[in-house]
Structure 1
């Protein structure tokens, strides 16, 4: 009887529904090293590869940190360095996934009509305040720069 009922019911094995990519959904890739197989086979070669990836990623992140106060795309370069690290280190892959999720959530929130309307109103109020202050300054001192004004 039991064998008949198993034949009649199609039992789906949960493991059979997992994609070949290791259960990765959407655009997320499998965690772990993306080094070529020939490098992964040899422990010392793989360790040297990891040290090289870490050094290059560290240089790029350091350049991004320097660009934060200076002219340049600081955050973009920092995330580029994190992406370099993510080719080899799971912790960097997890940080990038978390960052991507938070940026997507913030973008969706910013597109909410109520939030967007509030932001536009606050921006308009801020611009009006700045325009009034600049108008008062120009009325009082003319187009002279602040360090050229004699009291």
Structure 2
């Protein structure tokens, strides 16, 4: 193993011995590679494993980025690629912990009655504006069904 992975293992040791506090960010989980022990035993095999995990994660993240402007669950696929990377790389594990913390905080904030009331009011106003604009467009130009368009 190299010096970097030894440092990661030392940094992960306090997290592994800390009691599970039940927090939502997953700080009680061990950092570092989750590769099987026989893969970690051989440096060459472990590097090959890391390269494969990186390439697969990169392909999934790239597919997610392509899905952002195109139809498809882009962000979900991107986070799936990050989860693939997090099986092997500490930086991806930390990014996922941060993301989980932020999503949990946003969900808790959204449950606040004042925030929910504000969101409902803003959504209603937005829908009314869209309905008025669609109504004006239909009144001005009418509706032409595709099968009735004259050439």
Normalized against structure 1, the TM-score is what? Answer: 0.78
Contact 2:66 2:74 in 1 (8 A): yes
Question: Partners in 2 of 1:23 and 1:85 — Cα distance?
Answer: 24
Q: What residue number does 2:18 align with?
A: 23
Q: What residue number does 2:43 align with?
A: 43
Q: What residue number does 1:141 align with?
A: 141
- For residues 45-103 of structure 1, give each alpha carbon's deviation from its aligned partner in whole angstroms, at most 9, with x where no partner exists: 11111111101101110111111111111111100000000000000000000000000
What does 1:22-101 align with in structure 2 at a 5 Å threshold? 22-23=17-18, 25=20, 26=22, 27=26, 28-101=28-101
- Comparing both chains, which one has the higher relative contact order based on Cα–Cα distances under 8 Å and sequence gaps of 6 or more? 2
State which structure, 1 or 2, has the greater radius of gyration over its C-alpha atoms: 1
Question: Partners in 2 of 1:131 and 1:70 — Cα distance?
Answer: 26
Q: 1:20 to 1:76 in 2, by over 3 A?
A: closer
Contact 1:54 1:85 in 2 (8 A): yes
Question: Partners in 1 of 2:49 and 2:141 — Cα distance?
Answer: 63
In the alignment, structure 2 segments of 5+ residues that lack a partner are 1-13, 146-151
CA RMSD of aligned residues (A): 1.8
Question: Partners in 2 of 1:93 and 1:134 — Cα distance?
Answer: 46
Question: Partners in 1 of 2:15 and 2:67 — Cα distance?
Answer: 41
Contact 1:34 1:88 in 2 (8 A): yes
Question: Partners in 2 of 1:135 and 1:24 — Cα distance?
Answer: 60
Contact 2:16 2:30 in 1 (8 A): yes
In the alignment, structure 1 segments of 5+ residues that lack a partner are 1-18, 146-151
- For residues 113-139 of structure 1, give each alpha carbon's deviation from its aligned partner in whole angstroms, at most 9, with x where no partner exists: 000000100111111111111111212
